[in-house]
Amino acid sequence: MNSRVKILVRGIVQGVGFRPFIYSLAKSLNLKGYVLNSSKGVTIEIEGDNCDTFLQRLPREAPPLSQIMDIEVIPMPYHGYQDFQIFKSEDEGSFTLVSADVSVCQDCFRELFDMNDRRYLYPFINCTNCGPRYSITKSIPYDRPNTTMSVFRMCTDCENEYHTPEDRRFHAQPNACPVCGPHVELRVKSEKLKINEKENPVKETIRLLKEGHIVAIKGLGGFHLACDASNEKAVNTLRLRKRKSNKPFALMAPDLNTVKKYCNVSREEENLLTSMKRPIVLLTKKEALLPEGVSPKNPCIGFMLPYTPLHYMLFYYPLNSELVTRHSLPVTNFYALVMTSGNIAEEPLVIHNDEAVAKLSGIADAFLLHNRDIFMRVDDSVVRIMEEKETEIRRYGNTEKSNISDSPSHRFGGSLSFIRRSRGYVPDPIQLHDEGPDVLGCGADIKNVFTLTKGSFAIPSQHIGDMENYETLLFFEESLRNLKSVYRVKPVALAYDFHPMYLSTQWALRQEDIQKVGIQHHHAHVASVMAERGMKEKVIGVSFDGTGYGTDGSLWGGEFLIADLKGFKRAGHLKYIPLPGGEVAVREPWRITVSLIRDAAGDEAISYLKSLDFIDTYGERKIQDILKIIDRQQFSPLSSGAGRLFDGISALMGVCDKNTFEGEAAIALEAIAVPGIVDDYPVDIQLREPLEIDFSQTVLKMIEDLCKGADKGTISAKFHNTLSTVIMRVVQRLSHVHSIKDVVLCGGVFQNMYLLERTMRNLSSIDMTVHIHEKVPTNDAGISLGQAYIIRERIKGAA
Ligand SMILES: [Zn+2]
Ligand SMILES: [Zn+2]
């Protein structure tokens, strides 16, 4: 008896070797019919005796890069197919998922360094299991003509592979070889730098890097600026030319063992580093084996492993050909390369050859270019693993804890946390828990990411960047256009941040023929965690960051909200502190210290400032001026930002008095906190509506400790503990008043692992259910998901 079924597979099923897999499976079961890519996903018809077996094996044996979200099976009448075939893609005008870019696979890696392979040392080797995807896809379905590979005509050999179902490159859209595919080219900025035109450009690049030069290297989603990380002079030159801040550089190492030489690497971190998504993983430095200039005064360092064939060639290109044997890799050319984003002054990543030469000439001495166009720029992703302290508690047998820790909300041992979700992860959608209309969340201005929703999916964009220049706005528009067309999203509403000066807000307000809704910054933070978990009921939101525009026009950032998707009530906040000079105070946190001390000590402020050497360090005149503008409430916007409190405390302790990049002072303060301290400082909760948390006592006690010469690591730990305890006390009170047990911790301040872990432990101990981000960053890059979730729900409610 012949039976026939039609199967619709939805999910990430295009560009991941799905059709060849279906083809071989059907053939092996002697089934007839066809498979094709449609804009809905993959459509299959099978006819024969083994349909059931086919349906069982399909989800079990699907290719590693695919992500099946849904399989629909429709019984059909007998047709009489003669063979099993792969049909041309059809476009049905609906929606499919595009794969993110993936690192080179083991098979391609082996061929890359196999002297007898026709792709030996070919920097664009790829197959259906690996290579570029999102960054080269212009539209769907994902077929070669819709990618930037369309300009390369395959040679006979490649063509054969492409059409042979048994081949690893069957329908590999970016398939290429040295005969027919893209090529690299090395250019120097000035004639003075001699290169041998006859040599392989990669080999010459390695020589330049070894000589200490800086080379702009075109990668997968954009350019990197590279130098030899072990060359102190080169690192310092790059820092001097590229940025005027202490922001750490990302590093690339040839393999895991080399990373382990420099950093402590846990098993989870190992898995992340070697995953095909190849993010930058933040790791703790072992000892000072690398120049300080790589990540100044920072206990962490971001490492990634090579993810393109070209990266691997930089490390393993055989400089001395006699040493190469067929089956062993040559010795690595570098232990680590600095691979920092190829951009200037916080502009978007450079992706075009001419753009690179024009914009990066002030930084790079040479350019390693290639002629495969990047369509979508995507920065490297940055992630870290939450430490395993909680797991230890579990391991040592606190049964009560272990019960709590098993629920997903409490898996804080070894769970993934995003700092930046971009290459390798975008455009993977985030599954929402129900269906809804198409909407757009525009995000905020720092670390902008926008989010589109479609059906039951949210699609966060790649990292767009700080919306402080025209180029970033253009990149925002370009990515939005692209994601809207690739996913066929037609937003009926958009949400923006209340901040009137945000470029993203101004852009949103200019849009026509669309419903526009402003969402308060910290409310959006809370809703973003709710979106990840499909929550809709009221929660206690602890939303801590540097700055977000409040409904009273002040700068919020230490907020306790009773929130759901309909709205929120501000139930508590950190006490307002004037920021003398506004933006200047954000860059120079010692000004915030002056403000904190004025608030805590009143007329005695000067004597406290003297005891901290502030008068000697910053000058009596300047301090007096600052006190004056604080008292007259001039140029001193009020802030309840927890991030600003960290800034002020960091400068008070003499840890860091300048923010050359966002979060620097706070990171430095966390870095010195010693573990194992249980003490707190006193802190007041003013019982009014909303509750107000006053750190005056904390500040005075800290100064006392400092003057007594107490250990700064202990003082920092005690400050962290104080904040964590006060969060617990406020939450406990709000939980009691509002009968809510669900607590959301969100905002950039919770990137502080010491604070986050301690707060989660404290809240668990008073029986709260704690929710934090796992799928998008907790910093402002997570805002747009929350915005989108709120208006999507409101539209559904109104319909
Ligand atoms: Zn491959
Ligand atoms: Zn070819």
pLDDT tens digits, 380-420:
999 999 865 443 333 333 333 333 333 333 344 568 899 99
User: Environment class of residue 129 by beta-carbon count within 10 Å: exposed (0-12), middle (13-18) or buried (19+)?
Assistant: buried
96 alpha carbon – ligand 2 mean position (Å): 29
Ligand number nearest CA of 102 is: 1
Ligand number nearest CA of 154 is: 2
Q: Is the CB of residue 98 less than 8 Å from the CB of residue 14?
A: yes
Ligand number nearest CA of 159 is: 2
Joined together, the tokens standing for residue 224 give 């990197």
What residues are neighbours of ligand 1 (ion), with CB under 5 Å?
A: 105, 108, 127, 129-130
170 alpha carbon – ligand 2 mean position (Å): 13
Instruction: State the DSSP code for 649.
Output: H
200 alpha carbon – ligand 2 mean position (Å): 19
The reported pLDDT for the residue numbered 92 is 54
Strands 337-341 and 223-228: antiparallel
Query: How do residues 718-775 score in pLDDT, each as one tens digit?
Result: 999 999 999 999 999 999 999 999 999 999 999 999 999 999 999 999 999 999 999 9
Neighbours of 603 (CB within 10 A): 7
Q: How far is CA 414 from CA 270, 488, 756, in A?
A: 11, 36, 14
177 alpha carbon – ligand 2 mean position (Å): 4
Ligand number nearest CA of 182 is: 2
Ligand number nearest CA of 161 is: 2
The reported pLDDT for the residue numbered 633 is 86
102 alpha carbon – ligand 2 mean position (Å): 21
Residue with tokens 């063509």: 159
Q: How far is CA 257 from the centre of its chain?
A: 25
Instruction: State the DSSP code for 465.
Output: B
H or E stretch at 76:
strand 67-76
Joined together, the tokens standing for residue 506 give 């101004």
d(CA 695, CA 596): 8
Ligand number nearest CA of 307 is: 1
Ligand number nearest CA of 104 is: 1
List phi, psi (to 5°) of 377.
-80, 135
102 alpha carbon – ligand 1 mean position (Å): 9
Q: What is the mean pLDDT of each run of 10 residues along the chain (799 residues)?
A: 85 82 92 87 92 94 87 93 85 66 95 95 95 90 89 97 89 94 95 90 97 97 97 96 89 96 94 96 89 91 98 93 58 95 89 94 96 95 77 35 36 76 93 94 97 94 93 95 90 97 96 96 98 97 96 96 98 97 95 97 96 96 95 92 98 96 95 95 96 98 97 98 98 98 98 96 96 97 98 89
d(CA 166, CA 739): 61
Ligand number nearest CA of 175 is: 2
| Range 189-207 burial, b when 16+ CB lie within 10 A, else e | beeeeeeeeeeebbbbbbe
Kindly report the length of the chain. Answer: 799
The reported pLDDT for the residue numbered 171 is 85
The reported pLDDT for the residue numbered 316 is 95
154 alpha carbon – ligand 2 mean position (Å): 5
Strands 337-341 and 250-252: antiparallel
Ligand number nearest CA of 16 is: 1
Tell me the sheet residues that pair with 438: none
612 alpha carbon – ligand 2 mean position (Å): 69
Instruction: State the DSSP code for 775.
Output: S
d(CA 740, CA 535): 13
171 alpha carbon – ligand 2 mean position (Å): 13
109 alpha carbon – ligand 1 mean position (Å): 7
Joined together, the tokens standing for residue 134 give 């999102």
Query: How do residues 150-194 score in pLDDT, each as one tens digit?
Result: 999 999 999 999 998 888 998 899 999 999 999 999 999 988 888
The reported pLDDT for the residue numbered 41 is 84
Helical segments of 265-398, H only? 267-274, 309-316, 353-359, 389-395
Q: Is the CB of residue 464 less than 8 Å from the CB of residue 451?
A: no
Instruction: State the DSSP code for 683.
Output: -
Ligand number nearest CA of 107 is: 1
459 alpha carbon – ligand 1 mean position (Å): 27
Q: Is the CB of residue 755 less than 8 Å from the CB of residue 555?
A: no
Ligand number nearest CA of 17 is: 1
- What counts of helices (H) and strands (E) characterise the chain? 26, 30
The reported pLDDT for the residue numbered 204 is 97
160 alpha carbon – ligand 2 mean position (Å): 9
Ligand number nearest CA of 110 is: 1
Tell me the sheet residues that pair with 45: 6, 34
Ligand number nearest CA of 172 is: 1
- Which residue type occupies 492? V
pTM of the entire structure?
A: 0.90
